[in-house]
Copies of this chain bind each other. A is one copy, B any other.
Amino acid sequence: MAADFASWSLGQRGRVESALAAGVSSDVPAGLGDAMRYAALGGGKRLRALLVLAAAEAVHGHADAALRAACAVELIHAYSLVHDDLPCMDNDVLRRGKPTVHVQFGEAQALLAGDALQALAFECLLPDGDAVPAAMQAALARRLARASGAQGMAGGQAIDLASVGKPLTEPQLRHMHELKTGALLQASVDMGAACALDPLPAPAGAALHDFGAAVGLAFQVVDDILDVTADSAALGKTAGKDALADKPTYVSLLGLAPARALAQRLLAQALAALDASGLADTARLRALAEQLVNRTH
Protein backbone atom coordinates (compact mmCIF):
# COMPACT_ATOMS: atom_id res chain seq x y z
CA MET A 1 0.00 0.00 0.00
CA ALA A 2 2.74 2.46 0.98
CA ALA A 3 4.75 1.61 -2.14
CA ASP A 4 1.60 1.88 -4.24
CA PHE A 5 0.89 5.32 -2.79
CA ALA A 6 4.47 6.48 -3.35
CA SER A 7 4.24 5.42 -6.97
CA TRP A 8 0.82 7.03 -7.46
CA SER A 9 2.03 10.21 -5.82
CA LEU A 10 5.15 10.36 -8.01
CA GLY A 11 3.11 9.79 -11.15
CA GLN A 12 0.54 12.45 -10.27
CA ARG A 13 3.20 14.98 -9.37
CA GLY A 14 4.77 14.32 -12.76
CA ARG A 15 1.45 14.99 -14.49
CA VAL A 16 0.99 18.22 -12.55
CA GLU A 17 4.55 19.40 -13.25
CA SER A 18 4.08 18.74 -16.96
CA ALA A 19 0.74 20.49 -17.08
CA LEU A 20 2.14 23.49 -15.22
CA ALA A 21 5.22 23.60 -17.42
CA ALA A 22 2.94 23.72 -20.46
CA GLY A 23 0.46 26.13 -18.89
CA VAL A 24 2.83 28.71 -17.41
CA SER A 25 4.22 30.05 -20.65
CA SER A 26 7.57 31.77 -20.91
CA ASP A 27 6.17 33.53 -23.98
CA VAL A 28 5.02 36.44 -21.88
CA PRO A 29 6.23 40.04 -22.09
CA ALA A 30 9.30 41.52 -20.51
CA GLY A 31 10.58 38.61 -18.43
CA LEU A 32 7.31 38.20 -16.55
CA GLY A 33 7.00 34.64 -17.83
CA ASP A 34 10.41 33.76 -16.45
CA ALA A 35 9.46 35.02 -13.01
CA MET A 36 6.16 33.15 -13.15
CA ARG A 37 7.84 29.90 -14.17
CA TYR A 38 10.50 30.31 -11.50
CA ALA A 39 7.74 30.70 -8.92
CA ALA A 40 5.43 27.97 -10.14
CA LEU A 41 7.53 25.15 -11.58
CA GLY A 42 9.74 22.40 -10.33
CA GLY A 43 9.34 22.72 -6.64
CA GLY A 44 7.16 21.98 -3.72
CA LYS A 45 5.43 18.90 -2.50
CA ARG A 46 2.35 19.59 -4.64
CA LEU A 47 0.27 18.61 -1.64
CA ARG A 48 -2.69 20.73 -2.75
CA ALA A 49 -2.65 19.22 -6.23
CA LEU A 50 -2.50 15.71 -4.77
CA LEU A 51 -5.47 16.47 -2.53
CA VAL A 52 -7.48 17.57 -5.58
CA LEU A 53 -6.50 14.48 -7.55
CA ALA A 54 -7.08 12.06 -4.69
CA ALA A 55 -10.50 13.57 -3.94
CA ALA A 56 -11.39 13.46 -7.63
CA GLU A 57 -10.36 9.82 -7.68
CA ALA A 58 -12.57 9.12 -4.67
CA VAL A 59 -15.59 10.46 -6.58
CA HIS A 60 -14.54 9.07 -9.99
CA GLY A 61 -14.38 12.67 -11.21
CA HIS A 62 -13.77 14.34 -14.56
CA ALA A 63 -10.08 13.70 -15.30
CA ASP A 64 -9.28 16.87 -17.28
CA ALA A 65 -11.16 19.08 -14.83
CA ALA A 66 -9.30 17.49 -11.92
CA LEU A 67 -5.88 18.09 -13.49
CA ARG A 68 -6.86 21.70 -14.20
CA ALA A 69 -8.06 22.14 -10.64
CA ALA A 70 -4.82 20.59 -9.35
CA CYS A 71 -2.80 23.11 -11.36
CA ALA A 72 -5.03 26.00 -10.32
CA VAL A 73 -4.60 25.41 -6.59
CA GLU A 74 -0.84 25.14 -7.07
CA LEU A 75 -0.81 28.42 -9.01
CA ILE A 76 -2.69 30.16 -6.20
CA HIS A 77 -0.32 28.63 -3.66
CA ALA A 78 2.69 29.73 -5.71
CA TYR A 79 1.40 33.31 -6.02
CA SER A 80 0.76 33.47 -2.28
CA LEU A 81 4.31 32.41 -1.53
CA VAL A 82 5.76 35.03 -3.89
CA HIS A 83 3.76 37.81 -2.24
CA ASP A 84 4.29 36.44 1.25
CA ASP A 85 8.05 36.49 0.77
CA LEU A 86 8.13 40.17 -0.30
CA PRO A 87 10.01 42.63 1.91
CA CYS A 88 6.79 44.31 3.08
CA MET A 89 5.50 40.92 4.25
CA ASP A 90 7.82 38.21 5.62
CA ASN A 91 10.91 39.54 3.83
CA ASP A 92 12.20 36.06 3.19
CA VAL A 93 15.15 35.36 0.91
CA LEU A 94 15.09 31.55 0.74
CA ARG A 95 12.27 29.32 -0.54
CA ARG A 96 12.51 25.67 -1.55
CA GLY A 97 16.27 26.04 -1.23
CA LYS A 98 16.45 28.81 -3.85
CA PRO A 99 16.47 32.62 -3.70
CA THR A 100 12.92 33.95 -3.47
CA VAL A 101 11.34 35.52 -6.55
CA HIS A 102 11.93 39.13 -5.55
CA VAL A 103 15.58 38.38 -4.76
CA GLN A 104 15.97 36.81 -8.19
CA PHE A 105 13.81 39.16 -10.32
CA GLY A 106 13.24 42.30 -8.26
CA GLU A 107 10.28 43.36 -6.16
CA ALA A 108 8.15 44.85 -8.91
CA GLN A 109 8.45 41.78 -11.13
CA ALA A 110 7.66 39.55 -8.13
CA LEU A 111 4.55 41.56 -7.38
CA LEU A 112 3.38 41.29 -11.00
CA ALA A 113 4.28 37.60 -11.23
CA GLY A 114 2.11 36.89 -8.21
CA ASP A 115 -0.75 38.91 -9.64
CA ALA A 116 -0.49 37.15 -12.99
CA LEU A 117 -0.30 33.70 -11.37
CA GLN A 118 -3.56 34.38 -9.57
CA ALA A 119 -5.24 35.29 -12.87
CA LEU A 120 -3.69 32.25 -14.53
CA ALA A 121 -5.20 29.97 -11.89
CA PHE A 122 -8.66 31.09 -12.98
CA GLU A 123 -7.78 30.88 -16.68
CA CYS A 124 -6.69 27.32 -16.08
CA LEU A 125 -10.13 26.42 -14.70
CA LEU A 126 -12.00 28.15 -17.52
CA PRO A 127 -10.88 26.65 -20.82
CA ASP A 128 -12.57 27.41 -24.13
CA GLY A 129 -14.87 24.78 -25.56
CA ASP A 130 -16.85 22.12 -23.77
CA ALA A 131 -14.16 19.62 -22.75
CA VAL A 132 -15.05 20.64 -19.19
CA PRO A 133 -18.78 21.33 -18.67
CA ALA A 134 -19.50 25.02 -18.04
CA ALA A 135 -21.26 24.30 -14.76
CA MET A 136 -18.20 22.42 -13.50
CA GLN A 137 -15.90 25.25 -14.63
CA ALA A 138 -18.01 27.77 -12.75
CA ALA A 139 -18.24 25.58 -9.63
CA LEU A 140 -14.47 25.09 -9.52
CA ALA A 141 -13.65 28.76 -10.12
CA ARG A 142 -16.22 29.81 -7.51
CA ARG A 143 -14.64 27.63 -4.84
CA LEU A 144 -11.14 28.80 -5.71
CA ALA A 145 -12.11 32.48 -5.63
CA ARG A 146 -13.70 32.13 -2.20
CA ALA A 147 -10.78 30.21 -0.77
CA SER A 148 -8.26 32.74 -2.07
CA GLY A 149 -9.88 35.99 -1.09
CA ALA A 150 -10.71 38.05 1.96
CA GLN A 151 -12.77 35.30 3.59
CA GLY A 152 -9.99 32.82 2.87
CA MET A 153 -6.26 32.93 2.31
CA ALA A 154 -5.81 36.70 1.97
CA GLY A 155 -7.94 37.27 5.08
CA GLY A 156 -5.82 34.80 7.02
CA GLN A 157 -2.68 36.61 5.99
CA ALA A 158 -4.18 39.87 7.20
CA ILE A 159 -4.83 38.30 10.61
CA ASP A 160 -1.30 36.92 10.59
CA LEU A 161 0.10 40.41 9.94
CA ALA A 162 -1.99 41.92 12.69
CA SER A 163 -1.02 39.19 15.16
CA VAL A 164 2.76 39.59 15.26
CA GLY A 165 3.83 40.06 18.86
CA LYS A 166 0.31 39.63 20.19
CA PRO A 167 -0.92 36.83 22.40
CA LEU A 168 -3.62 34.82 20.60
CA THR A 169 -5.99 32.35 22.18
CA GLU A 170 -6.19 28.92 20.59
CA PRO A 171 -9.53 29.74 18.89
CA GLN A 172 -7.99 32.91 17.43
CA LEU A 173 -4.93 31.04 16.22
CA ARG A 174 -7.16 28.34 14.76
CA HIS A 175 -9.29 30.91 12.95
CA MET A 176 -6.18 32.50 11.43
CA HIS A 177 -4.91 29.16 10.16
CA GLU A 178 -8.32 28.03 8.94
CA LEU A 179 -8.19 31.02 6.61
CA LYS A 180 -4.49 31.41 5.89
CA THR A 181 -3.61 27.86 4.91
CA GLY A 182 -6.74 25.86 5.72
CA ALA A 183 -9.05 27.49 3.17
CA LEU A 184 -6.96 26.51 0.15
CA LEU A 185 -6.30 22.98 1.43
CA GLN A 186 -10.00 22.61 2.15
CA ALA A 187 -10.82 23.99 -1.31
CA SER A 188 -8.43 21.48 -2.85
CA VAL A 189 -10.49 18.61 -1.44
CA ASP A 190 -13.80 20.31 -2.27
CA MET A 191 -12.66 21.04 -5.83
CA GLY A 192 -11.65 17.43 -6.33
CA ALA A 193 -15.13 16.46 -5.12
CA ALA A 194 -16.67 19.07 -7.48
CA CYS A 195 -15.19 17.12 -10.40
CA ALA A 196 -17.79 14.40 -9.80
CA LEU A 197 -19.66 13.70 -13.01
CA ASP A 198 -22.89 12.95 -11.17
CA PRO A 199 -24.11 14.90 -8.13
CA LEU A 200 -22.39 13.54 -5.04
CA PRO A 201 -24.65 12.27 -2.21
CA ALA A 202 -24.79 15.11 0.32
CA PRO A 203 -23.26 13.04 3.18
CA ALA A 204 -20.27 12.16 1.00
CA GLY A 205 -19.70 15.81 0.11
CA ALA A 206 -19.99 16.83 3.75
CA ALA A 207 -17.61 14.07 4.86
CA LEU A 208 -14.99 15.13 2.31
CA HIS A 209 -15.44 18.71 3.48
CA ASP A 210 -14.81 17.63 7.09
CA PHE A 211 -11.79 15.67 5.95
CA GLY A 212 -10.45 18.80 4.23
CA ALA A 213 -11.00 20.92 7.31
CA ALA A 214 -9.14 18.51 9.61
CA VAL A 215 -6.29 18.01 7.15
CA GLY A 216 -6.01 21.74 6.56
CA LEU A 217 -5.56 22.50 10.23
CA ALA A 218 -3.30 19.49 10.83
CA PHE A 219 -1.01 20.74 8.08
CA GLN A 220 -0.48 24.03 9.88
CA VAL A 221 0.05 22.43 13.29
CA VAL A 222 2.75 20.22 11.74
CA ASP A 223 4.23 23.26 10.00
CA ASP A 224 4.54 25.00 13.34
CA ILE A 225 6.16 21.90 14.85
CA LEU A 226 8.67 21.60 11.99
CA ASP A 227 9.53 25.29 12.25
CA VAL A 228 11.13 24.53 15.63
CA THR A 229 12.30 20.95 15.13
CA ALA A 230 13.67 20.84 11.55
CA ASP A 231 16.60 22.75 10.11
CA SER A 232 16.55 25.12 7.12
CA ALA A 233 18.23 22.63 4.80
CA ALA A 234 15.53 20.01 5.40
CA LEU A 235 12.72 22.57 5.07
CA GLY A 236 14.20 24.36 2.05
CA LYS A 237 13.26 27.60 3.77
CA THR A 238 14.40 29.56 6.79
CA ALA A 239 13.66 27.52 9.94
CA GLY A 240 12.78 29.15 13.23
CA LYS A 241 11.52 32.28 11.55
CA ASP A 242 8.17 32.27 13.30
CA ALA A 243 9.83 32.43 16.68
CA LEU A 244 12.24 35.11 15.46
CA ALA A 245 9.32 37.12 14.10
CA ASP A 246 7.49 36.68 17.40
CA LYS A 247 4.57 35.07 15.63
CA PRO A 248 2.13 33.00 17.65
CA THR A 249 2.23 29.30 16.70
CA TYR A 250 0.71 26.08 17.99
CA VAL A 251 4.05 25.28 19.59
CA SER A 252 4.39 28.65 21.31
CA LEU A 253 0.78 28.43 22.47
CA LEU A 254 0.49 24.76 23.47
CA GLY A 255 4.06 23.49 23.77
CA LEU A 256 5.70 20.89 21.54
CA ALA A 257 4.23 17.65 22.89
CA PRO A 258 0.62 18.91 23.05
CA ALA A 259 1.00 20.30 19.51
CA ARG A 260 2.08 16.85 18.34
CA ALA A 261 -0.87 15.27 20.10
CA LEU A 262 -3.21 17.78 18.43
CA ALA A 263 -1.82 16.87 15.01
CA GLN A 264 -2.55 13.20 15.70
CA ARG A 265 -6.08 13.98 16.90
CA LEU A 266 -6.75 15.95 13.71
CA LEU A 267 -5.42 13.05 11.65
CA ALA A 268 -7.80 10.70 13.45
CA GLN A 269 -10.68 13.13 12.72
CA ALA A 270 -9.74 13.26 9.07
CA LEU A 271 -9.65 9.48 8.76
CA ALA A 272 -12.95 9.12 10.62
CA ALA A 273 -14.53 11.52 8.12
CA LEU A 274 -13.36 9.31 5.26
CA ASP A 275 -14.85 6.27 6.97
CA ALA A 276 -18.15 8.16 7.29
CA SER A 277 -18.15 9.27 3.65
CA GLY A 278 -19.54 6.05 2.27
CA LEU A 279 -17.04 6.34 -0.59
CA ALA A 280 -15.08 3.25 -1.55
CA ASP A 281 -11.94 4.70 -3.08
CA THR A 282 -10.49 6.85 -0.32
CA ALA A 283 -7.17 5.05 0.07
CA ARG A 284 -5.20 7.89 -1.57
CA LEU A 285 -6.79 10.53 0.60
CA ARG A 286 -6.06 8.41 3.67
CA ALA A 287 -2.43 7.95 2.69
CA LEU A 288 -2.05 11.64 1.90
CA ALA A 289 -3.40 12.66 5.31
CA GLU A 290 -1.05 10.24 7.07
CA GLN A 291 1.93 11.43 5.07
CA LEU A 292 1.10 15.06 5.70
CA VAL A 293 0.89 14.67 9.46
CA ASN A 294 3.93 12.43 9.74
CA ARG A 295 6.17 14.38 7.37
CA THR A 296 9.58 15.59 8.54
CA HIS A 297 9.93 18.57 6.19
Interface residues of A (CB under 8 A from B): 25, 28-33, 36, 79-80, 83, 86, 88-89, 106-109, 111-112, 114-116, 118-120, 122-123, 126-128, 134-135, 137-139, 141-142, 144-146, 148-152, 154-159, 161-163, 175, 179
Contacts and interface: CB of A to CB of B under 8 A. Distances in A.
Which label, helix, strand, loop or mixed, suits the secondary structure of the A interface? Answer: helix
Contact of A138 (B116, B141, B150, B162): B141
Nearest to A160: B30
Nearest to A28: B150
Contacts of A79: 115
A126 B116 CA distance: 20
Contacts of A80: 115
Nearest to A128: B142
A161 B89 contact: no
Contacts of A151: 28
A123 to B, nearest CB: 4
B88 A32 contact: no
A115 B116 CA distance: 11
Contacts of A161: 30, 108-109, 112
A208 to B, nearest CB: 19
Contact of A135 (B134, B145, B150): B134
B150 A25 contact: yes
A149 B116 contact: yes
A150 B89 contact: no
Contacts of A159: 29-30
B155 A142 contact: no
Nearest to A146: B123
A118 B141 CA distance: 13
Contact of A158 (B88, B112, B120, B138): B112
Nearest to A130: B135
A212 B122 CA distance: 23
Among the interface residues A112, A161, A163, which one has the most CB atoms of the partner chain B within 10 A?
Answer: A112
A145 B122 contact: yes
A89 B108 CA distance: 6
A119 B119 contact: no
B119 A156 contact: no
17 contacts: A28-B150, A29-B156, A30-B155, A31-B162, A36-B150, A79-B115, A83-B115, A109-B158, A109-B161, A114-B115, A119-B148, A119-B150, A122-B122, A122-B144, A122-B145, A123-B142, A127-B142
A126 B154 contact: no
A143 B30 CA distance: 22
A131 to B, nearest CB: 12
A144 B150 CA distance: 19
Contact of A150 (B32, B111, B126): B32
A138 B126 contact: yes
